[in-house]
Amino acid sequence: MKKGFIILDFGSQYTWLIARRFRELGYYSEVLAYDESLENIKSKQPLGLVLSGGPSSVLAEDSPKRSVDELVSIAPVLGICYGMQLIAFQKGGKLLKASQRTYGYNEIDWKKEIIPCLKKQKVWMSHGDSIQSLPSNAQLLSQDKKSLITAFCMDRVLAFQFHPEVSHTEQGEKLLRFFASEYCQSSEGNWSVGSIKQNLIDNIKQEVPEKEKVFCALSGGVDSSVTAVLLSQALGSDRVNCIFVDTGLLRKGEYEEVLDIYKSLNLNIKGVRAEEDFLKALKGVSDPEQKRKTIGKVFIDIFKKEMKDCQYLSQGTLYPDVIESLSPKGSGATIKSHHNVGGLPKNLNLKLIEPLRELFKDEVRQLGKALGLDQKILSRHPFPGPGLAIRCLGPVDSIQLEILRKADSIYHDELRKSNLYNKIWQAFCVLLPLKTVGVQGDSRSYEQIISVRAVTSKDGMTADWFPFSQDFLQNLSCRIVNEVSGVGRVVYDITGKPPGTIEWE
Ligand code: XMP
Q: Which tens digit of pLDDT belongs to each residue from 67-101?
A: 999 999 999 999 999 999 999 999 999 999 988 88
Whole-number pLDDT of residue 99: 85
Whole-number pLDDT of residue 319: 81
Is residue 294 within 6 Å of ligand 1 at its C-beta? Answer: no
Which of 294, 265, 254, 270 has its CA nearest to residue 401? Answer: 254
pTM score? 0.79
Kindly give the distance from the C-alpha atom of residue 503 to the centroid of ligand 1, in angstroms, as a whole number. 6
In this structure, of 18-22, 172-176, 193-197, the range with the lowest mean pLDDT score is: 193-197
Beta strands in 320-385 (DSSP E): 351-353
Q: Whose CA is nearest to atom 24 of ligand 1?
A: 382
Is residue 384 within 6 Å of ligand 1 at its C-beta? Answer: yes
Is residue 501 within 6 Å of ligand 1 at its C-beta? Answer: yes
Q: What is the mean pLDDT of the chain?
A: 92
Residue 343 banded pLDDT, cuts 50, 70, 90: low
Residue 193 banded pLDDT, cuts 50, 70, 90: confident
Q: Which residues pair with 121 in a beta bridge?
A: 108
Kindly give the distance from the C-alpha atom of residue 90 to the centroid of ligand 1, in angstroms, as a whole number. 41
Angle ∠(163,169,175) on CA atoms, nearest 5: 70
Per cent of the chain over pLDDT 70 is 95
Interstrand relation of 351-353 and 443-456 (parallel, antiparallel or unpaired): unpaired
Kindly calculate the radius of gyration of the chain based on its CA atoms and give it in whole angstroms: 25
The answer on pLDDT for 199 being more than 90 is no
Kindly give the distance from the C-alpha atom of residue 461 to the centroid of ligand 1, in angstroms, as a whole number. 10
Higher pLDDT, 397 or 359: 397
Kindly give the distance from the C-alpha atom of residue 212 to the centroid of ligand 1, in angstroms, as a whole number. 31
Q: CA distances (Å), 351 to each of 209, 330, 348, 386, 392, in order?
A: 12, 25, 9, 23, 34
Is residue 382 within 6 Å of ligand 1 at its C-beta? Answer: yes
Is residue 248 within 6 Å of ligand 1 at its C-beta? Answer: no
Is residue 460 within 6 Å of ligand 1 at its C-beta? Answer: yes
Residue 1 banded pLDDT, cuts 50, 70, 90: very low
**Buried residues in 164-193 as b, exposed as e (16+ CB within 10 A):** bbbeebbbbbbbbbbbbeebbebeebebeb
Whole-number pLDDT of residue 373: 92
Tell me, yes or no, if 163 is annotated catalytic: yes
User: With helix as H, strand as E and coil as C, how does 279-314 read?
Assistant: HHHHCCCCCHHHHHHHHHHHHHHHHHHHCCCCCEEE
Tell me, yes or no, if 165 is annotated catalytic: yes
Catalytic residue among 165, 254, 414, 503: 165
Q: Are 12 and 63 in contact (CB under 8 A)?
A: no
User: With helix as H, strand as E and coil as C, how does 110-160 read?
Assistant: ECCCCCCCCCEEEEEEEECCEEEECCCCCEEEEEECCCCEEEEEECCEEEE
The answer on pLDDT for 341 being more than 50 is no
Residue 318 banded pLDDT, cuts 50, 70, 90: confident
The CA distance from 480 to 478, in Å, is 6
Q: Which tens digit of pLDDT belongs to each residue from 235-271?
A: 999 999 999 999 999 999 999 999 999 999 999 999 9
Atom of ligand 1 nearest to the CA of 383: 22
Is residue 186 within 6 Å of ligand 1 at its C-beta? Answer: no
Catalytic residue among 30, 81, 254, 324: 81
Whole-number pLDDT of residue 327: 64
Tell me, yes or no, if 81 is annotated catalytic: yes
Whole-number pLDDT of residue 449: 98
The CA distance from 281 to 284, in Å, is 9
Catalytic residue among 30, 127, 163, 358: 163
Kindly give the distance from the C-alpha atom of residue 339 to the centroid of ligand 1, in angstroms, as a whole number. 8
Per cent of the chain over pLDDT 90 is 78
Phi, psi for residue 161 in degrees, rounded to 5: -80, -25
Kindly give the distance from the C-alpha atom of residue 476 to the centroid of ligand 1, in angstroms, as a whole number. 25
Is residue 497 within 6 Å of ligand 1 at its C-beta? Answer: yes
Whole-number pLDDT of residue 168: 82
Whole-number pLDDT of residue 340: 44
